A and B are shown apart, each in its own frame.
Chain A
Amino acid sequence: MTDDFLEPWRPHAAEWDRAAAQHLFRRAGFGARPEELELALSEGLEATLARLFADRAAPELRASIQPLLPAGELELLQAWWMALILEGGAPLHERMTLVWHDHFATSNAKVDDVRLMHEQNELFRTRGLGDFRALLKSVARDPAMLRWLDGDSNRRGHANENFARELMELFAHGLGNYGERDVQEAARAFSGWGISGRTSVFRPEHHDAGEKTLFGRTGRFGCDEALDLVLEQPACARHVACVLLEAFVAPPEGAWIEELARVIREADWSIERALRILLASRLFFSPVARRARIAGPVELLAVAARSLGARIAPRRAAHLASEMGQALFRPPSVKGWDGGRAWIHSGSWIARHNALVELVSDGATEADLERFFDSAEPEELPASAIERLLPEGAGQTFTDALGSAVRNAHVVSGARTAVVALVLTSPEFQLF
């Protein structure tokens, strides 16, 4: 890869193929339904990107959470978000919501309030593609975050450093880019912010209004001033660049980080503008980015369901994702999900296998699969499945195994189910 890796990718007609389009849909959204993929192939990259950035989520679905919130049931909130993901009306918005949920990982295990978790989720949805500076400041005052990282107990003379420490280490800078003194001084700057009922409040009597020295600057900093100083540090843009590269491209390399950090600053911290460049770049479509990530449970299930054009009940989907190790709104720690190879272990592999088989056998109807295969003849099923689900191709042994599954099936519908189940549960399909 040469230095101009963030230059726009200008594919020849043959390069904008099923594999490229599927790569874009899987990374920037949660996969494409068969008709969406066909449309993308005919419309081209630019129009497809425009669709991914658009927000066409059904208002009724988005509003459906309101009457459910008083129930205080986390499973309903999980199901609602899963429904938005599966619907695919606002693919990049939902993708970024998940990215920020993992980044600013907050768990209902401690927050214990579904309304607050929903409010934070909406914050990520509505501001996730906007100005990162505004997002960070909103997160610092978000009631769920204040409860999660003990904002209430951060008071003058008794600073609680939880939020300040995680801000430096996980949210904005990364280890090695700040000192212990910076954490202590930032914590003093954040003091006084807590929650009353479900609302974040500033209690001046608990705020440490004294002078603080943060990143070499001294002043009577409050929350916003401290966050401005955090954002000013070069490490911050680099950290955000890392988050985006990991989420959308591949484990980041030094040069990519510097270049994307520059883009982020030049875009005045607009995540949308940075992503418009990143998702259209040569880097994004390069071989190093393709099939470079192990799919997380939520995206795996959503991509599989959407690719087949199958329906799965959102509540069931959220439950299956939890069983596979990704319970929405309950990340394991403030670090979020480890991701990558950590998604796969002996227990989770069985859960992934079972969930995908359930999706094929229960979620996808015979009509779904017949439509998916476009009425292909039985002997055409292996090639057809590989073309649609593994457009990067598959090895001969695997193709032969699919052929064998077709031959062993007694009826065409059984052959379709067997072939799709084999493809979805293959390691190749689970590399996004």
Chain B
Amino acid sequence: MNRSLLIPAFALFAWLWPRWRTETWPVPPSPDRELASFFPERCRIYLEGTGTLPLLERGLEHPFVHALETSALGTALLSDLPRSPAQALAAAEGWLGRPVLPLIADLTRRGVALGFDPESKKAVIVARGQDPDAVAGALAAVFDALERQLGWPGALDRPRERRSGADLWALGDEAVVARRDALLVLGNQRELVTDVLDLAAEPSARGLTDRPGFRQQRAGVPPGSALWAWLELAEIEPHADQGFRELRAANHSPAVQGILGAEIGALLAARALSATLSFEEDRGLELSLRAFEAPRLVALVPEARPGEIPAELGADGAATALVYRDYARFFTQRVEHFPPTALPGFAEAITNAALFFEGKDLGEDVLSHLSPWIRLVSRELDFDAGRRPEIPLPGLAAVAVLDDEREGEHWAAAFQTLIALINVDQAQKGGQSMRLHLAHEGEVEISAARFATPVPGEGVDLRYNLEPALAVAGRHLVLGTHLSLVRELVRELARAEPRVPGGGREALEVDAGSLRALVEENLEFLVAQKMLEDGLEHAAAEREIEGLRLALASFAGARLEVGGTNLGAPEVRLTLRLARAESSR
């Protein structure tokens, strides 16, 4: 061969070789590589099916799916559909020519995940099968079905292009499908799909796993969980609406800290959040949220100040909760924790409270004698004859621990002063006042107030749910919306002592049965309210409330736990328990 031709030919070969090699013999991604490493970092929302395979393999026979399907809500929802799930799967099988769930299982045997770019509002799904031939066959089956439906036989036989060792097909204007061996990529933006393919072609690429905190959070996902999500809140924020930004800023809001607490407040403001969804046995569903780099107001988180936990109370009732709210530090450290705009409100509260607490400083002299652990109880009430409201609501009581029983007298005096002032205000408006009286439960004196007994036949208004009462039982301070509930709690507390906390976590337990009973008891009210709130006709409003009733009937209860992880980051765990089918009607 002529040397003058050989040199340019060699140069051309050298220039082409890497491209040709990449196109012809790409290194397949390792089957053990983390799925998140295929996703570009701009995917600020990431959802991974960490345990979807058992669901796909067992389909409608999966215990949780079966329990959901046979629940009151499931039955009602399915009855509105033209086909049962089994019929729908059979129809899909007819369209596809193959059973659907096994096909999806083939495509996702080694994982499936979705990434969302909040800036472009585009998403990409990556599915990884085990056997490239099985994946190719499954994809071909889907393409065949599409071709048949659209009347374009053979249109998807050949890919439109190749990229990073993958075949690419365009479906319509936006959707792109790519396959490389057992890896399948589907997205609604070509650039996002090709970014994934490029990362897949690069063995050392780390993609999302390079994001701060990602690996740490992913490693904490318990085995057997079904779904795991990663939300990089700080990066989503610039592309989100005003409401989202306000939510992020709520950590320094006294209202959020006062109602939701320091842990949840920090959770909202965290740099990133990870969420795990797991099925527990056949009836439990657990969602846990864990924060990364959450700016906790450490002085307000549980156990920042020593304090006792109110004694355990009976678990019956609509809801029980144990929360940590250090209201003393709200006031004494208000300048450190809250924005200047909130400070006038604190000053006003301190001034007003001085009126009730003999001129004392609310933070320094009153709340500091109260343990920050508060137990909340909501139970159905026993109303006196002729005083049962037409819209009966459960009562609510708060129980806290005083460091000295004698402090209770100040609280009783404050309660009585408050009722007296409310009465003065009502008198000025010509409204009805409340009669202040003392009741006794054993040795315990209860300060209580009640409206005059309603005139028979003239209706008993909502306000009769309110018969406020305050008692000091030992060192327990009990404040409730109704005397009968406070009496009940005083009886229970007579046999119990506060306890010293040890790793206490905030928790809320809700009994769905009680809520369902509440909805059923006030059905007419809720339907009528829905009609006027949403402009619905009676039948439509009734359907919506029935949906709520069925949803409650489908669950036995819920538990929300809030606390710090051993990494010091806030964590929220919500557990929903499905009701047994026979008791859900």
Contacts and interface: CB of A to CB of B under 8 A. Distances in A.
B528 interface: yes
Interface string A84-111: 0010000000000000000000000010
A79 B534 CA distance: 10
A64 B531 contact: yes
B390 to A, nearest CB: 4
Nearest to B456: A197
A112 B527 CA distance: 25
A315 interface: yes
Interface stretch (B49-57, B304-312, B460-468, B494-502): B460-468
Interface residues of A, number: 31
A67 B525 contact: yes
B529 A68 contact: yes
B314 interface: no
Contact of A72 (B430, B455, B458, B463): B463
Given A60-B538, A61-B538, A198-B458, A70 B390 contact: yes
A196 B538 CA distance: 35
A197 B528 contact: no
A38 to B, nearest CB: 23
Contacts of A13: none
Contacts of B389: 70
B532 A312 contact: no
Contacts of A69: 459
Contact of A61 (B459, B463, B525, B531): B531
Contacts of A86: 535
Interface in A322-364: none
Contacts of A316: 535
A65 interface: yes
Contacts of B534: 313
A154 to B, nearest CB: 16
B431 interface: yes
A177 interface: no
A70 B538 contact: no
Contact of A112 (B431, B532, B533): B431
B455 A76 contact: no
Contacts, number: 79
B433 to A, nearest CB: 13
Contact of A311 (B460, B461, B532, B535): B535
Contacts of B525: 67-68, 70-71
Size category of the B interface is: 20 to 34
Contact of B458 (A71, A147, A199, A313): A199
A64 B459 contact: no
Given A83-B531, A312-B535, A70 B430 contact: no
B528 A70 contact: no
B535 A313 contact: yes
Interface in A246-275: none
B528 A68 contact: yes
Interface string A297-324: 0000000000000011111100000000
Interface string B250-285: 000000000000000000000000000000000000
A284 interface: no
B533 A71 contact: no
B535 A314 contact: yes
A115 interface: yes
B353 interface: no
A58 interface: yes
Contacts of B431: 112
Contacts of A60: 537-538
B524 interface: yes
A71 B532 contact: no
B429 interface: yes
B391 interface: yes
A25 interface: no
A50 B384 CA distance: 52
Contacts of A315: 532-533
A405 to B, nearest CB: 28
Contacts of B463: 72
Contact of A313 (B454, B459, B533): B533
A225 to B, nearest CB: 29
A71 B462 contact: yes
A67 B389 CA distance: 11
A285 interface: no
B8 to A, nearest CB: 56
A119 B531 CA distance: 21
B533 A79 contact: yes
Nearest to A64: B528
Nearest to A150: B430
A65 B528 contact: yes
Nearest to B531: A64
A163 interface: no
Contacts of B532: 64, 68, 76, 79-80, 83, 313-315
Nearest to B452: A197
B432 to A, nearest CB: 9
A72 B538 contact: no
B462 A70 contact: yes
Contacts of B527: 64, 67
Nearest to B534: A313
Most chain A CB inside 10 Å of its own CB: which residue of B431, B463, B528: B528
Contacts of B391: 67, 70-71
Interface of A: 58, 60-61, 64-72, 76, 79-80, 83, 86, 110, 112, 115, 147, 196-199, 311-316
Q: Which 6 A-B pairs have the closest CB atoms?
A: A197-B455, A70-B390, A67-B524, A79-B532, A64-B528, A313-B535
26 contacts: A60-B537, A64-B527, A64-B528, A64-B532, A66-B524, A67-B391, A67-B522, A67-B525, A67-B527, A68-B525, A69-B459, A70-B389, A70-B525, A71-B525, A80-B532, A83-B531, A112-B429, A115-B461, A197-B455, A199-B455, A199-B458, A312-B535, A314-B531, A314-B535, A315-B532, A315-B533
Interface of B: 389-391, 429-431, 454-455, 458-463, 522, 524-525, 527-529, 531-535, 537-538
